[in-house]
Amino acid sequence: MKKILAADGISEKGIELLRDEFEVDVRDKLSAEELLDIIGDYDALMVRSASKVTAEVIERASKLKIIGRAGVGVDNIDIPAATAKGIIVINSPGGNTIAATEHTMAMMLAMSRKIPVANETMQRGEWNRKEYIGVELKGKTLGVIGLGRIGMGVAKRALGFEMNVIGYDPYVNEERASELGIKVVPLEDLIKNSDFITVHMPLTPDTKNMISMPQMKQMKTGVRLINCARGGIINEADLAQAVKDGIVAGAAIDVFVDEPIAKDHPLIGLKNVVLTPHLGASTVEAQIGVSLDVSKGIRAALNGEPVTTAVNMAPVSQQVMKVIAPYLTLAERLGCTICSIAEGPIKKVEVTYNGDITSVNTGLLTTAVIKGMLNPVLEKEVNYVNAPMLAKERGIKITEVKRKDVEDFANLITVKAQAGDKTCSVKGTLFGNEGRIVEINKFRVDVDPHARILICLHINKPGVIGAAGSLMGRHGINISSMAVGKTDIKGQNLMVLTIDNDIPLDVFNEFKSLDVIFDAKLVNFYAV
């Protein structure tokens, strides 16, 4: 009988599910040494956050087929080591959805009706009824940034409170949102027109500090902000100042950049600010839910069935993997690039393969393109298993084309996307084993997509490169390489700068406002 090790206090409900078919050993509070000593006896491992599944643990796991993380984050698992050894790693991305959704609503209500401070003063024997007059949710406009499962759940509940709900999400299925009563709007409109704003996005270089002082100054007087998603999406120092200045009437924050927060954190002690210590998933039901999710995945894997919550790539034959492995990172970064240069939500994507690579199954490469395209913009982690499903949910049509004929390169991957009535494209190939972007929107380039790049459509005349370099230099931003595109379009050219530093939003806007620049797009490959 196959054996499963359950560590870190996994809910008994999930363990009961597995005991019908497998031998399950429950060993809470295992030391690192104890885990190393016994892991070789087990076919599956269930953990929460306490146990560290290191490369050394995985090396000793001679029988291990799957590692299940009862929760969302997998930082305590060495995924590359597990993948290299053919071990599936799964998590529970949806097990705490209801808990996080309800906590968001609870925070909104507590902030609106000043419940925490009213309770605190009542416990001291005070009666300050007139001081704690709140506001109603009915009739107010709720702006939901990020319409994934949690964002949609919050929106549906807000509609039950008779709120007007508007939402922003570059990849939302607008028809589905409209059916639920949610009006999809540009981010700028949401910021200007909402009475309450709640964020449900992943923390990426693009979403970090996406709500900062410039955005807060554009909001309606009396706006209230909620963050139960990821610390850092709302700039905490700016929020504290905005509350002090009366720009923001209230805030409810569950997640923080650094946890636990310091005693001198700027949000501590502010009136009309509700703080909780990352309780979004802390319900009895959520702990049972993640346990059941992981247990079902482990049962499927041990029975040779497909696993839908794997965070590492699905297994492919060694022969196919040998051919496509060098292209996987390139494919993801082509997807990330197409996401950044598209003018609006993408509705269609066509991935074309030319050359010898067409002789093998390229499905995993197409999935890598989708993964790279969705990862920067979705709240949940996108992986090789769920990427096609997530694209389908958002109404994005994916097609794959193979052509044996060779163009200028022995093997070529072309990604073409349609956003509204406009199309964009990017092409890539390998130079040796290194991926290169060789064309962007018909401009021939030679770009190493290793970190972050700035794509600039500019006037084709002398002085452009100097103006761009001088601006970056003034702000201490290093340009490690530059490629200038070639095209038949008169009067235009394309410059691609490889940037070593993060570019602050004000610097990016200053760059875009240069007279010689038509447009600029920042692509951050750290997001994938």
Where do the H-state alpha helices sit in 435-504? 464-474
Q: Which long-range contacts (CB under 8 A, 24 or more apart) does 180-184 make?
A: 180/152, 180/155, 180/156, 181/155, 182/144, 182/147, 182/152, 182/155, 184/147
Range of 22-36, 68-82, 213-227, 331-345 with top mean pLDDT? 213-227
Given a cut of 90, is residue 29 above it in pLDDT?
no
Report d(CA 510, CA 507) in Å as an integer. Answer: 5
Range of 389-398, 415-424, 482-491 with top mean pLDDT? 415-424
- CA-closest candidate to residue 47, choices 89, 6, 88, 96: 6
Instruction: Enumerate residues 6+ apart whose C-beta is below 8 A from 119.
Output: none
8 A C-beta contact, residue 7 and residue 45: yes
Given a cut of 90, is residue 47 above it in pLDDT?
yes
Domains, the chain, ordered by start: 3-94+285-302 (3.40.50.720), 97-275 (3.40.50.720), 313-441 (3.30.1330.90), 450-528 (3.30.70.260)
Tokens of 322: 């040998």
Tell me the per-residue pLDDT of 207-220, one tens digit each, with 9 for 90 and over: 899 999 999 999 99
Report d(CA 365, CA 316) in Å as an integer. Answer: 12
Task: Give the pLDDT mean for 142-170.
Answer: 95
Instruction: Enumerate residues 6+ apart whose C-beta is below 8 A from 20.
Output: none
List phi, psi (to 5°) of 225.
Answer: -115, 145
pTM of the model: 0.68
- CA-closest candidate to residue 6, choices 39, 37, 32: 39
Q: Please, what is the end-to-end C-alpha distance for the chain in angstroms?
A: 39
- The answer to whether the peptide bond before residue 315 is cis (omega within 30 degrees of 0) is no
Helix (H), strand (E), coil (C) string for 211-225: ECHHHHHHCCCCEEE
Helix (H), strand (E), coil (C) string for 262-293: CCCCCCCCCCCEEECCCCCCCCHHHHHHHHHH
Q: Is 278 a catalytic residue?
A: yes
Identify any residues that bridge with 457 across adjacent strands, giving them in sequence order. Answer: 494, 519
Tokens of 106: 């609870």
In our burial notation (b when 16+ CB lie closer than 10 A, e otherwise), range 230-245 reads: bbbbbbbebbbebbee
Tokens of 64: 């291990």
Given a cut of 90, is residue 63 above it in pLDDT?
yes
List phi, psi (to 5°) of 311.
Answer: -100, -5
Instruction: Give residue 86's region: left, alpha or beta (phi > 0; psi -120 to 50).
Output: left
- How do 452-459 and 517-524 pair as beta strands? antiparallel
Q: What is the largest CA-CA distance in the chain?
A: 82
Q: Which residue in 69, 103, 224, 230 is the catalytic one?
A: 230
Tokens of 509: 């806007």
Instruction: Kindly state the helix (H) or strand (E) to which residue 524 belongs, with its residue range.
Output: strand 517-524
The region of weakest confidence among 48-57, 338-347, 373-382 is 373-382
Given a cut of 70, is residue 246 above it in pLDDT?
yes
Tokens of 446: 């030679």
- How do 452-459 and 479-484 pair as beta strands? unpaired
- Report the chain's mean pLDDT, rounded to a whole number: 90
Q: Is 230 a catalytic residue?
A: yes
Q: Is 259 a catalytic residue?
A: yes
Residue in this structure with the two tokens 């196959």, named with its chain if needed: 2
- The answer to whether the peptide bond before residue 260 is cis (omega within 30 degrees of 0) is yes
Given a cut of 80, is residue 380 above it in pLDDT?
no
Q: Which residue in 33, 175, 179, 259 is the catalytic one?
A: 259
8 A C-beta contact, residue 26 and residue 6: yes
Given a cut of 60, is residue 472 above it in pLDDT?
yes
Report the percent of the chain where pLDDT is more than 90: 60
Report d(CA 171, CA 374) in Å as an integer. Answer: 8
Task: Give the pLDDT mean for 34-48.
Answer: 95
pLDDT-derived band at 343 (thresholds 50, 70, 90) equals confident
pLDDT-derived band at 306 (thresholds 50, 70, 90) equals low
Tokens of 252: 């409810």
Task: Give the pLDDT mean for 367-391.
Answer: 81
Tokens of 516: 């010689």
pLDDT-derived band at 241 (thresholds 50, 70, 90) equals very high
| pLDDT top residue among 215 and 28 | 215
Given a cut of 60, is residue 5 above it in pLDDT?
yes
Report d(CA 385, CA 309) in Å as an integer. Answer: 7
Rounded-to-10 torsion of CA 95, 97, 103, 104:
160
Tell me the per-residue pLDDT of 448-462, one tens digit each, with 9 for 90 and over: 887 899 999 988 888
8 A C-beta contact, residue 51 and residue 7: yes
Our measurement of the distance from residue 150's CA atom to the centroid of its chain's CA atoms, rounded to an integer in Å, reads 13
Report d(CA 248, CA 235) in Å as an integer. Answer: 13
Q: Which residue in 278, 350, 381, 450 is the catalytic one?
A: 278
Tokens of 32: 């690192």
Helix (H), strand (E), coil (C) string for 321-381: HHHHHHHHHHHHHHHHHHHHHCCCCCCEEEEEEEEHHHHCCCHHHHHHHHHHHHCCCCCCC
pLDDT-derived band at 316 (thresholds 50, 70, 90) equals low
Q: At CA 394, angle to CA 366 and CA 436, rounded to 5?
A: 30
